[in-house]
Structure 1
Amino acid sequence: MLEKKQHNYERAVLVGVVTQQQDEEKLIEYMDELEFLAFTAGATIDRRFIQKLTQPDSKTFVGSGKVQEIKEYVKENEIGTIIFDDELSPSQLKNLEKEVEVKILDRTNLILDIFAQRAQTSYARTQVELAQYQYLLPRLSKMWSHLDKQKGGIGMRGPGETEIETDRRIIRDRISLLKDKLKIIDKQMATQRNNRGKVVRVALVGYTNVGKSTLMNAISKSDVFAENKLFATLDTTVRKVVIGNLPFLLTDTVGFIRKLPTQLVESFKSTLDEVREADLLIHVVDISHESFEDHIESVNQILMEINAHQKPMIMVFNKIDDFSYEQKEEDDLTPGSNKNISLEEWKRTWMAKSKFPTVFISALTKENFPEMKRMVYDEVMKIHISRFPYNDFLFEYFDNDEEESENNE
C-alpha cells in the first residue's frame, strides 16, 4: 500500500490563490482547514503564500514571481514540503518539483495520506489504496524526470519510456485487482445490510470533526475512536441502540469535507451506501465552528449527489459548550467579554426554525441529551409504526440513563 509513516512533524508552507470563483475570505477558510489537515497528517506550518490571479496558472498554479519567492523562502528556512490548496495537474506538479526541488503535495494528496494513516480495517485500507493508485497513475512521469537530464544519451529515452509503461501496467493491474476485491466486499456488506431485516437504520452524517463519533459513543455506550483531528473515523461502525425499549441500528460514517477528492468519493462508495440506505439521518453540526453554515451546505450537497437528501433528518447542533460570542458594552470603550448562549436562546435562533426537527446539545458533556434522545425516539417510532402498524403499543418512551440510575440506587 502507498502509505508513508510519519514519526516527527514536518515543516511545511501552504500555497493558495484568490480567483474570480474564490474570494479572499473563502480562501482563508480553506487555508485554515488545509492547515488543520496538515497538522492531522503530521506537519507544522511555517508560512502561507497567497496570490491573486484571474485563474490558477496552467504551468505552475501560481505565477513565476511567486514560485521564485516560495523557492527562496523554503531554501533559506530549510522547509521540506509545499502544500497547495487545490489539486495540481500532472504537468503543474512536474513543473513545480523541477523548479523548487522539494516535496510538493496538493490537497488531494494530503487527504489521501491522512486516510492511509487512519484506515484500520482491511476494507478501508483497500479503499484508500485504490484511491491512491488512481491519483498516482496520471502523475507517474514525474518519477522518471531524472531521465530528462540525460538528453541525447543513446538508449536513455527508450528504457525510460519502457520503465514508465511497465509501472503504468503494474498500477493498472493493481487498480483492477482492488476494484474486483471491493466488489466482493461490497456484495458481502450488502448482504449484511439485508440481513439486518426491517430494523430501523439511523446514520450519523456531518462534516469531519463535528463530534459524530463522540455522539455515537454517548448514545450507544460503545467505544468508537474519537479525536480532535480531521477524519478520525474512516471505518463504518454499526451499533444496536435501544432508547426506551425501541431498538434501532446506529451507523457512524466517514466525515465529509469541502473539495473532497473524486477518487475518495468513488472508492468509499460502500461507506456512502450506509447513508443512502439509512431510514433516518442525524446531521451533526459543530455550532462552535465559524464556518458551520458552509459545512451544512457541503454535507447537503454530497447528500444530494448520492441521492440521500430527501430522507427524514434530525439536525443536531453539537458543541454548544464550546460556543461563545463577544458581548460589547454600550459605551464601546469597555472591552468585550465572551458570553455563552442558553438553551432557550438557542431555540430562538434561525437554526431552530429548520424544516427538520432540531436540537442543540453537547455530546461531550451530554447537555440537553434527554431532549435529543426523545427526538430520535419519536422519529424512529414514526418509521417503525409505518412498518409494523400493529406493534406500536409494545413501545413506551423512557430515558435509559434515568432508569439505570434508579436501578443502581
Structure 2
Amino acid sequence: MHDPSRRQFLTSLGAAALVPSLPRALFPAVARPFVPRGVIVRTITAGVALERLSDRATVERTLAVLARAKRRFEGEGYEVQTTRITLPPLVASLDVGRLRTALDDLRALDGLCAASGTMLGLGPVLLADRADLDLAPWAAELVRSTKTTSFSSVIASPAGGIHSNGVRAAAAITRAVADARPTGMGSFQYAAAANVPSGTPFFPVGWHEGPTSLAVGLESVAVLREAFTGVHDREEARRRLTPRLTSELREVERVATDAARADRLRYGGIDSSPAPLGDDSIGGAIEALTGAPFGEAGTLQACALITDVIKSVPVALCGYSGLMLPVLEDKVLATRAREGRFGLRDLLLFSSVCGTGLDVIPLPGDTPSTTIERIILDVAAQAVKLKKALSVRLFLVPGKSVGDAVHFDDPRLFDTVVMRA
C-alpha cells in the first residue's frame, strides 16, 4: 500500500541520505556472480519488540541491524529504496494526558530514524472500537512535528468485525491530517486499517508484535510487465508470470533469511505486493495483459490473476501480498483517472480481488466528514465480508473540486484530477 510518508520522506532527506556511497569492502561476500536483479527492494522493515516509547537504545541497535541488512542486499545486486522500523501499538494504550506527553518521545524517535535515513511506523493508534475524537487533533500535531512517522487506526478486525465507532474516529483523523499541512501532504502518513495483520512491512499500516523480526517489501512491476508483454491469453500469462516471480522471490528470501540469521532475528517474510514506482506502473502491466485501458472490461480479471499468482509463490509471505492500485503514485493509473476511465467505486470493486483497498485517492478538499466516514465504512464492510486485509488512505486536496487538475512538485507523484467521493 502507498507508503504514505515514503514520498515526502525521500524528498526531505534527499537521495544521497538514503543511498550512501559505501566501499565495496563493507559488503558481505557474494557466493554467486554480481548481477542486477529483476526486482527492487522497496523496504527492509524491522519489527521491534519495543516496550516503552522512551527506549531509544533499542531503536538505535535496530538501525544498525537495518544498515547491515541493506549492505547485504546491495552486495547481492539489489537496489534498496528504504529501510523502516515498525513498533507495537504502544500509543493505543495511552490515555489523553499521556498522549500529549508521548509526542516528545515520538519526536525523538522520529529524529533518530530520520538521521539514519529510516522511516518509522507506529502501527495503530486506536485498536478498540471507540470514537476517540481526541485522537484527531493529536494526529494532526504528530504529522506537523515529524518527518518519517506513519500510523494507522483500526476500522475492522477479525474478532470484532466492523468497528463502527472506530470508523467515525478514522474519518476525523483523515480530515485532521489532511488539514495539518497547507499542501495536504499529511494524508500520506495515515491510513485506516481493516484486518491488517502484524508484520506488514509497508506503510502507513505496518505494525509489529512478538520478537524483533525482519521483513521485506518489493517493487516487482517490471517482472509483471515482462511476463505480460505480447500475451493476451489468461493462462499463458499465468504460466509466464509464476516461474519468473517465484525465481525472483526465492532469491530475495535467501538474502533476507541470511540477514535475519546474521543478527539472530526472526525472519518475517516477504510482502509480494508489486508496488509501482515511476515508469514501472502496475496499471501499465495490467494493460499489457488485457490489451485495453485500465478501468475497461477485463481489468477485474487481470487484477484477480495477478493477485492469485502473488499469493501462490512458494515463499514465506507477509502483509498484504496482493495488488496495490495507488492512483497518485502510478503513472498509468493517474492518466486513466484523468481520462475518466474509472472512479472510486471501481477501485473499491477491484479491491475485492486485490490486496490494499483505497490508496492515495485524490478527493475534493472540502469533502464532508460524513462522506469520508461512509467511504471508510464501505471498505471496512468489504474487508469483513471477504475476510481480507484492506486499508483506506484518502488524499483530500486543499482548494480543489471534482475534475480539477492536480499537480505535484514531486517526481514520484503523477498529475491527475480530483475524483468524485
TM-score interval w.r.t. the shorter chain?
under 0.3
TM-score (normalised: structure 1): 0.26
Higher helix share: 1
